[in-house]
């Protein structure tokens, strides 16, 4: 029952975040930007303005909301629903990914930190639960503690991701406004799209923290026995 204290609020927030991003994205995907600029064209304009036009390639990729910036090969990948779309949602998402490219170019601290802990976080994400499960089954608090320490790396990764994503969204709004790609009336719309996306990262972080607290409760309870 102790787990419910942590997981139910996190679960509700996660469900709301998923509903919110889908409904918000759908709403603003149906609204054409006043400039009629596609996501790919907006991204190209912003990259040029920041001296990255010749270094960062823009490529279309399959999927929906699969957009990402890959710092390994300096590629800005835009999903099919963003690349060629002229909607408010499309140019907002494209600008957000440009924000990551600018972060990379400017050696933004949290982005560099996140990149450095990716290998550890990936290993911890796959190994922590099996170790925790074996520890609980064998009633081995040492294994449970090892699992907790590993899962802590996952939580840290989520925490570091928050400023990276929020900052990229702030850069996106500023860049779009300064480049004249959105009107004054369209800025709040872009903010709503990016705000809904940011909430999914917050929800994932809260869920990870809730799980960690539950694991700590198990450890503390087992140690007291």
Q: Is the dihedral of CA 177, 180, 182, 183 positive or negative?
A: positive
pLDDT along the chain (225 residues), means of 10: 68 89 95 96 97 96 93 95 96 98 97 95 95 92 94 97 97 97 96 96 92 88 63
Contact 34, 190 (CB under 8 A): no
DSSP label of 182? S
pLDDT at position 217 is 86
Q: Which two tokens stand for residue 68?
A: 């990402």
pLDDT at position 219 is 86
For the entire predicted model, the pTM comes to: 0.90
Q: Which of 97, 165, 186, 225 is catalytic?
A: 97
pLDDT at position 117 is 95
In Å, how far are 11, 91, 131, 153 from 98, measured between CA atoms? 31, 10, 39, 27
Can 97 be counted among the known catalytic residues? yes
């Amino acid at each position: 029952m102790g787990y419910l204290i942590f997981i139910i609020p996190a679960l509700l927030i996660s469900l709301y975040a998923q509903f919110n991003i889908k409904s918000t994205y759908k709403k603003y995907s149906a609204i054409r930007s006043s400039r009629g600029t596609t996501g790919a064209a907006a991204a190209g304009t912003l990259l040029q303005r920041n001296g990255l036009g010749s270094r960062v390639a823009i490529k279309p990729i399959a999927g929906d909301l699969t957009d990402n910036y890959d710092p390994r090969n300096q590629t800005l990948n835009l999903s099919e629903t963003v690349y060629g779309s002229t909607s408010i949602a499309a140019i907002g998402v494209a600008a957000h990914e440009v924000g990551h490219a600018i972060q990379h170019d400017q050696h933004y601290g949290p982005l560099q930190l996140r990149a450095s802990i990716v290998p550890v976080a990936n290993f911890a994400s796959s190994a922590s639960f099996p170790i925790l499960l074996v520890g609980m089954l064998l009633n081995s608090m040492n294994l449970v503690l090892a699992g907790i320490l590993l899962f802590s790396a996952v939580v840290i990764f989520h925490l570091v991701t928050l400023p990276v994503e929020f900052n990229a969204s702030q850069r996106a709004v500023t860049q779009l406004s300064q480049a004249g790609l959105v009107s004054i009336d369209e800025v709040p719309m872009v903010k709503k799209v990016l705000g809904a996306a940011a909430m999914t990262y917050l929800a994932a972080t809260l869920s990870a923290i809730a799980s960690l607290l539950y694991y700590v409760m198990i450890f503390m309870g087992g140690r007291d026995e």
